[in-house]
């Protein structure tokens, strides 16, 4: 029996790496992308292949570039699960943000979701089934000061998720998002230890989340009932 195939974007570290490892352990053949850390991604892929005996392709792709994403999909002829994890942040005053910086955040975090879904849907329609999982943020629900572009991109992802779920529900393709709270990844290491400690004190679980916890939730959505769709599922230790 042929393994199912999952495409996971932004898989060279953090949440994306954890999701790749979890899906590999579950027996999925993998297509992994990164924007620049190809050496790291290839090392992860080799470990997954050797341990779990699955196929694991690596591609260096700017997910905010439509031509590059189209090129990626030119080599994909079937797909069961799409995990849109690629994302970047910008921390600073909106008035200090350049137009190029705004476009980069929106391109990587939101345009990429349109690009991948546009190409994935025809592949999933062939099987009349599929799972699209978007990695979002609590800031998409609530907004964060000094992270306006990031918050806007994740709010857009949430709206995209709910709308596309309605389009695809008759075809047994589900679309859900995971709204992450503060997860212990490199993206959050721009904050000082003092700031992080203050943040942890606000979280009822009294700790940061782990990438592995997000990965476990993503894997469960890959095997969820068709009736579970259009949801923004928050994993934040009870914070929001």
User: Does 150 participate in catalysis according to the annotation?
Assistant: yes
Distances (CA, A) of 180 to 22, 134, 207, 217: 17, 11, 14, 11
Which has the closest alpha carbon to 83: 154, 156, 134, 15? 134
Q: How far apart are CA 114 and CA 151, in angstroms?
A: 17
Single out the catalytic residue among 66, 150, 227, 240: 150
Q: Are 52 and 27 in contact (CB under 8 A)?
A: yes
Q: Quick check: 214 and 19 in contact, CB under 8 A?
A: yes
Q: Each residue of 82-121: b (16+ CB within 10 Å) or e? A: bbbbbbbbbeeeeeeeeeeebebbbbbbbbbbbbbbebbb
Catalytic positions = 150
């Amino acid at each position: 029996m042929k393994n199912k195939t999952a495409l996971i974007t932004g898989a060279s570290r953090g949440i994306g790496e954890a999701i790749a490892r979890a899906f590999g352990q579950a027996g999925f053949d993998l297509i992994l992308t990164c924007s620049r850390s190809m050496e790291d991604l290839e090392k992860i892929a080799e470990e997954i292949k050797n341990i779990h005996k699955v196929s694991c392709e690596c591609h260096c792709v700017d997910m905010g570039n439509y031509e590059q994403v189209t090129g990626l999909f030119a080599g994909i002829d079937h797909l069961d699960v799409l995990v849109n994890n690629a994302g970047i942040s910008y921390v600073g005053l909106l008035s200090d943000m350049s137009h190029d910086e705004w476009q980069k955040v929106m391109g990587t975090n939101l345009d990429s979701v349109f690009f991948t879904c546009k190409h994935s849907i025809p592949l999933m329609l062939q099987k009349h089934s599929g799972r699209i999982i978007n990695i979002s943020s609590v800031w998409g629900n609530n907004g964060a000061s000094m992270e306006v572009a990031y918050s806007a991109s994740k709010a857009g992802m949430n709206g995209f998720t709910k709308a596309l779920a309605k389009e695809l529900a008759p075809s047994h393709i589900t679309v859900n998002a995971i709204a992450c709270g503060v997860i212990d990844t490199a993206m959050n290491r721009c904050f000082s230890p003092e700031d992080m400690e203050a943040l942890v004190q606000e979280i009822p679980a009294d700790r940061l989340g782990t990438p592995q916890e997000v990965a476990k939730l993503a894997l469960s959505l890959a095997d969820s009932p068709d009736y579970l769709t259009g949801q923004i599922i928050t994993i934040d230790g009870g914070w929001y």
